[in-house]
Amino acid sequence: MNEVPTLVEHLKNLAQGYHDTHLALQAQYRKMESPEAFLVELKHQEAALLNRFRLVQKHLLASLEDDELEKAIELSRIFDEIRVINEFVIQTLVGKDSETGAD
């Protein structure tokens, strides 16, 4: 039973981290000169985070047993799909902003 409060606290911390990141991105977006400049900055941040993620992922996958390894690989696939969707959404929004700005 002690694991439940720990999990709840962990999820609360994750949610707070996501919220803080969202607010930071909003503030950063307001300061940028254009949506394109913001996208370039996001790409740099994403590349750095992906490098860190892949390094941790590599070490984690190397240390797991077969049954855990399959679950971790599935989580990695889900993460990659979410990342691709997010990238598409961002590029679509930047494209729309560029089109409306050009009119």
In this structure, are 52 and 25 located in the same domain?
A: no
Residue showing tokens 């390894």: 69
User: What's the domain count of the chain?
Assistant: 2
Same domain membership, residue 70 and residue 22 = no
* Interaxial angle between packed helices 3-31 and 35-63, expressed in degrees from 0 to 180 and rounded to the nearest 10: 150
Per-residue pLDDT at 81: 92
Give the integer Cα–Cα distance in Å for 34 and 13. Answer: 32
Other CB atoms within 10 Å distance of the CB of residue 73: 13
Separation between Cα atoms, residue 53 and residue 59, nearest integer Å: 10
Asked whether residue 77 carries a pLDDT value surpassing 50, the answer given is yes
pTM: 0.62
pLDDT digits (tens, 9 = 90+) for 16-70: 888 888 888 888 888 888 877 888 888 898 899 989 999 998 998 899 888 888 8
Alpha carbon distance 22, 29 (integer Å): 10
Identify whether residues 42 and 78 lie together within a single domain.
yes
